[in-house]
Structure 1
Amino acid sequence: MAKRKAGFPFDDDLFGNSFFNEFFANDAAFQDLFRQLGNTRAGPGNPMVYGFSVTTGPDGKPRVQEFGNVKKEGGVQNEREPLVDLIDGEKEVRVIMELPGVDRQHLHLTVENSELSVRVTDPDRRYAKTVRLPEEVKSSEVKATLKNGILEVVLPKAKPKGKAIKIN
């Protein structure tokens, strides 16, 4: 009887040999993503980044937000899409964005209608993201800070334009 060689405990994955293969084989989105990754031609110094964040929105429903430079259409974009948190407060909207390695002089912010647009023009680190805001904001009073690669934008909410109606 041949004696089986003892292997490293993690030679087989924790959930059995085929857990992840079965898990991802049934998900068309993962299959499409891996097919796209195989068709791209990212070279040295041009990393491919893809990820997603799942949070619970104020309405209690889950929100899935994608980030990175690999898009569903396939291929690698020149600009990455940063990870964003949007906090809808009583008097202000707070947008927090991860922009590692970005210098202030390459950062461009614009607020128009109910959208905040962020663009980084550093040739080595390009980011772009447009965030739809939950309400109109006072664009003249927006404040932004960049510290240790974290951009925080505070946008005071505009007062409602409607008029209260008295009920008799």
Structure 2
Amino acid sequence: MDGYRRKRRSFFDEIFGIDPFEDIDEMFERISRAMGMNIKNFGQQPFIYGFSVTQRPGEEPEIREFGNIPRFERTGTGEKHYIDARKPLIDVLEAEDTVHVIAEIPGIEKENIRLNATDLILDIETINGNPKYSERVELPVKVNPQSAKATYKNGVLEVTFNKLESSSRTSINIE
């Protein structure tokens, strides 16, 4: 029996005659082909998906999605293309005189974060980084975009606005 190695059979092979791990790999490959993507192109990062629910008294619940699940968008010609940006987990807190926007965007250097604001919108976008994040946050009340103060530490971005009636757009520097 020199040169002969017997392949060790797994428990599943013995009982069911299948190797479930090979079947799972094949299943992921089939799903990725059906979605029009190659799953190996997405690296070794896990897929993350979730949602947050906020409900103010007397209002309908607000549901926001976040995560890094591959997203696709149809072009005008009907073709699907991959959108390479994650949605960060975002909380919007309203105090008496201020509005706080807290976004979780780990793995990004603060120099790669771009913030733009109007009186009712905060755009958060990352550049030159991996992963990329992009989100448009609708603010609950009108704010003064000139009053914005932003900090970024340990993957958490916090932007604070003073409430005010205004409609100008401004860029925000991160301290």
Q: Distance in 1 between matches of 2:36 and 2:116?
A: 32
1:54 Cα deviation after fit: 2.0
Q: Deviations over 1:16-73 (max 9, x none)?
A: xxxxxxxxxxxxxxxxxxx899525232417543221223235354221111244485
The match for 1:120 is 126
1:105 Cα deviation after fit: 0.6
The match for 2:94 is 88
Q: Distance in 2 between matches of 1:153 and 1:60?
A: 24
| 2:52 pairs with 1:62 | no
With normalisation by structure 2, the TM-score equals 0.62
Q: Secondary structure at the match of 2:143?
A: coil
Contact 1:39-1:75 within 8 A present in 2 as well: no
Q: Secondary structure at the match of 1:138?
A: strand
1:113 Cα deviation after fit: 3.5
Q: Deviations over 1:72-120 (max 9, x none)?
A: 8587520111010001111111000000011111011011231000111
| 2:48 pairs with 1:49 | yes
Structure 2 CA distance for partners of 1:95 and 1:58, relative to 1, 3 Å: farther
Counterpart of 2:43, as a letter, is: G
Q: Distance in 2 between matches of 1:36 and 1:85?
A: 32
The match for 2:136 is 130
| 2:145 pairs with 1:139 | yes
Unaligned runs of 5+ in 1: 1-34, 161-168
Matches within 5 A, 1:149-168: 149-159=155-165
Q: Distance in 1 between matches of 2:113 and 2:119?
A: 20
Q: Secondary structure at the match of 1:126?
A: coil
Unaligned runs of 5+ in 2: 1-30, 74-79, 167-175
Matches within 5 A, 1:98-109: 98-109=104-115
Divergent runs of 4+, >3 A: 35-38, 46-49, 58-61, 69-76
Contact 2:108-2:130 within 8 A present in 1 as well: no
Counterpart of 1:101, as a letter, is: G
Structure 2 CA distance for partners of 1:98 and 1:132, relative to 1, 3 Å: same
Structure 2 CA distance for partners of 1:131 and 1:87, relative to 1, 3 Å: same
Identity between Structure 1 and Structure 2 (%):
33
Structure 2 CA distance for partners of 1:57 and 1:75, relative to 1, 3 Å: farther
Contact 2:112-2:129 within 8 A present in 1 as well: no
With normalisation by structure 1, the TM-score equals 0.64
